[in-house]
Structure 1
Amino acid sequence: MMSHAGRMRLLMAGAGLMLMAGPAFSLDGADLVAKLNAAMGIPGAPLAAQTIDVRGSTVTLRGATYKPVETEPAVNLGDITLEGVEEDAGGYVIEKVLFPNVNAAEDNTTVTISDISMSNVTVPADTTGDSLASVLLYEEASTGPMTVTVDGKEVFSVASSVSTTDVADDQSAVGFAIDVQGIRADLSTVEDVKSRDALQSLGLTALNGSMTMSGSWQAEEGVVDLEEYVFDFADVGTLSMALSFSGYTMEFVRAAQEATKAMDTNASKESQDAAGLAMLGLMQRLTFNSAEISFQDAGITNRALDYAGKEQGVSGENMAQMLKAMTPMMLAQYNVPKLQNMVSEAVNTYLDNPGNFTISAKPENPVPFPMIMGAAMGAPNTLPDVLGVTVEANRRQ
């Protein structure tokens, strides 16, 4: 049997090994912040902290500040807590990021935001790769209630917001979604008397609604599909948008970041012009696939016709007839007879029975942005055909 002295020597040796091994396994808070800044793609070090406190797998950035533009003052964030931090192939995985509540006041305006957090954040070790493994990503970001008050009166608020992402197993694509609920805006505080009277006539003393968005980005192919971008407001209507384009690769993203850095770090006119030309050149790498914008009426159209008619001394029905007659005359000057007929027919259908109004652009084949720009400058009347534009009213959803 091992003697008491032998057991003590063994325990002391084990303790010594643990103490020597400890620093090798502890988190490097400074490296974590440095990699976070590198992944943001913003000049300098936008995220900073007075002190970085590392305790086990929890990292606290005390007195954190954020400065996205070097020439602008930094924004004080307070203490940010990162829980469940682990190293991962030179990068980091963060289980939870907790931000302090916001209570910012300037002049007579106060903004408050509570319950701000992010979960399952991945910080890349290297930001120069060709896949999403080199991009700062998160699984979910959310906030609780947000309010904006002016002179003590609440003028805007949001009940909650949630943003989620879903990365493909091979890191080639990411899906994203945003859900903002309980949007409320008090329009009775509009100072201009005429505008306030108009809003009251339209029944818009307040807006209540939501915003949702969803889509995907195939990083390797550079395809961005904004499948749904919807604003839905009670007693007004629903505005829906969709967009798809190609060419938005990792190489494009980095080139755009470099151009942005050049604009932020050098304010001279020559540098700004050069960066602007670089951005214009980048836009020519993109290809247009499709787009659509649609409005589903929830009562605002007839109220708008009544108001506009009252201003002209006629009824809302007569105002609708006037608009029907004006539409083809207004479009005739653009020399697009096919589009003119489509729009006129759609306007007539919609004004007779407000339902939905949809404008779509779906070319037979994707159209490079330079071709669109060339048509817009040289022969704008050909754009509807180039983009495959259609206009419809009261389409079945």
Structure 2
Amino acid sequence: MMHTRNLRLMLASAAFIGLSGPAFALDGADLVAKLNAAYASNGMTIAYEGVEVDGTTITLSGVSVKSMAAPETDLKVGEVTLEGVEETDGGGYYAETVTLPDIDFKADDVALAAKDIAMSGLTIPGNPSSGTINDIVLYESAGTGPVTVTVKGKQVFAITESEANLTKQESDAGFDFDATLSGIKADLSDVEDAKAKDAIEKLGLKTLDGEVTMKGSWEVATGNVSLEEYAFDFANVGRLALAFDISGYTMEFMKSMQEATKAAAANPNKEEANQAMGLAMMGLVQQLTFNSASIRFDDATITKRVLDYIGGQQGVSGDQLAQSLKGMVPLMMAQLNVPELQNQVSTAVNSYLDAPKSLTISAEPAKPVPFPMIVGAAMGAPNTVPSVLGVKVTAND
């Protein structure tokens, strides 16, 4: 009797497990639906022809992406594989890796190829309306292998690899980010315009070799966006590094901007849409606060070549042109009626032209400045803007 009861219990348990199994299986269609819900504010829609679930792997076939900005064009992606997929609290999803097919696009004489496209640590929100960082589709890292562009069978641009990383801050306060495009090579030798071709040859820019790097952070509560560096570094040219720090770029600001963009894209009257978009952006900018900004150029011989080239067109040497610029800068700056800045600029330009090493323009006010105050100063007393922003110009430092 006891054996019979145990047998029935085992059979009932087996039946329950068998029936409940499909309920715990991953739902590929739901994953894409949640992804589309998160991307909806950006005016993007992801479609697919088929979905296959095998354990923790979801394979989407015939994937395409449509943007409201170009509703007549679908970006064909192909097969996308998500591995190590699991459901998260709140009905969202997490995928350890996402692999996309290589790109091999051709149009007329132009061909674009990209290999090894993948990302890891993809997080898809279950409820993209909570007002937190968890509303956003995030990844831990993403990148590609080689990327090439060819024109008429000749390679004119290439990237060895690209990589981008996002790291969540403690308590979901925001995230840190960085990105690198390495092994950038460009071939400008086949430029057809005669004037441009002459300039490229004399400036020694027929081929370019360098990299682009970026690093920064974003804090959700204050909307503080700190772009510590966005640098373009090319051999025999120089390194241009940009940086800025603003506050007010909150989740609410992002959503308002996305809604304005979405409304503009949906408006068939493009002139009216652009005007509405401009007014919306002007209103949104009022919510931002300026903390600091800078732009720095470190020369790698391009300055002398530019002076020689422009001087040659005017019938003078590069050194003579440099001396002429030294005399012109104070006169040009005097028209702005900013004596302190005029002296800084004149001193910096003189130092740089004598021995080109670096030139830096920075703006760091004593206290953060609301954008409406900057706009007001620019409209009412333009010559006060440099002092409001704490602008400084230095060279070779």
The residue type paired with residue 306 of structure 1 is D
- Partner SS for 2:143: strand
| Maintained 8 Å contact 2:265/2:273 | no
Within-5 A mapping of 1:53-132: 53-69=52-68, 71-89=71-89, 90-132=91-133
Task: State, as a whole percentage, how many aligned pairs show the same letter.
Answer: 52
Q: Does 1:258 align with 2:259?
A: yes
Within-5 A mapping of 1:367-386: 367-386=369-388
Q: Distance in 1 between matches of 2:342 and 2:72?
A: 48
Mean CA deviation greater in 170-179 or 26-35: 26-35
Q: Does 1:153 align with 2:149?
A: no
- Partner SS for 1:301: helix
Q: Distance in 1 between matches of 2:314 and 2:85?
A: 65
Q: Which residue of 2 aligns with 1:237?
A: 238
Deviation at 1:279, TM superposition (A): 2.1
1:173-203 C-alpha deviation (Å, 9 max, x unpaired): 1000001100011011211111111111111
The residue type paired with residue 161 of structure 1 is S
Q: Distance in 2 between matches of 1:306 and 1:193?
A: 19
Deviation at 1:274, TM superposition (A): 3.1
1:295-326 C-alpha deviation (Å, 9 max, x unpaired): 00011111111111211111111111011111
Mean CA deviation greater in 103-112 or 316-325: 316-325
Q: Distance in 2 between matches of 1:327 and 1:37?
A: 54
Q: Which residue of 2 aligns with 1:349?
A: 351
The residue type paired with residue 297 of structure 1 is D
Q: Distance in 2 between matches of 1:329 and 1:72?
A: 53
The residue type paired with residue 54 of structure 1 is V
Q: Which residue of 2 aligns with 1:21?
A: 20
Change (3 A) 1:100 1:277: same
Q: Which residue of 1 aligns with 2:282?
A: 280
Deviation at 1:146, TM superposition (A): 0.1
Q: Distance in 2 between matches of 1:157 and 1:196?
A: 20
Q: Which residue of 2 aligns with 1:338?
A: 340
Q: Unaligned stretches of 5+ in structure 2?
A: none
1:221-246 C-alpha deviation (Å, 9 max, x unpaired): 11000001111000110001110000
Q: Which residue of 2 aligns with 1:211?
A: 212
Q: Which residue of 2 aligns with 1:307?
A: 309
Q: Distance in 1 between matches of 2:43 and 2:214?
A: 31
Q: Distance in 2 between matches of 1:212 and 1:295?
A: 15
Mean CA deviation greater in 15-24 or 242-251: 15-24
Q: What is the TM-score normalised by the length of structure 2?
A: 0.95
Q: Unaligned stretches of 5+ in structure 1?
A: none
Q: Distance in 2 between matches of 1:267 and 1:316?
A: 52
- Partner SS for 2:366: coil
| Maintained 8 Å contact 2:160/2:182 | yes
The residue type paired with residue 30 of structure 1 is A
Q: Which residue of 1 aligns with 2:32?
A: 33
Mean CA deviation greater in 205-214 or 274-283: 274-283
Mean CA deviation greater in 304-313 or 223-232: 304-313
Q: What is the TM-score normalised by the length of structure 1?
A: 0.95
Q: Distance in 2 between matches of 1:44 and 1:304?
A: 44
Deviation at 1:19, TM superposition (A): 2.0
| Maintained 8 Å contact 1:41/1:257 | no
- Partner SS for 2:189: helix
Q: Distance in 2 between matches of 1:42 and 1:107?
A: 34
Deviation at 1:40, TM superposition (A): 2.0
Q: 1:389 is matched with which residue: 383, 388, 391?
A: 391
Q: Which residue of 2 aligns with 1:194?
A: 195
Q: Which residue of 1 aligns with 2:323?
A: 321
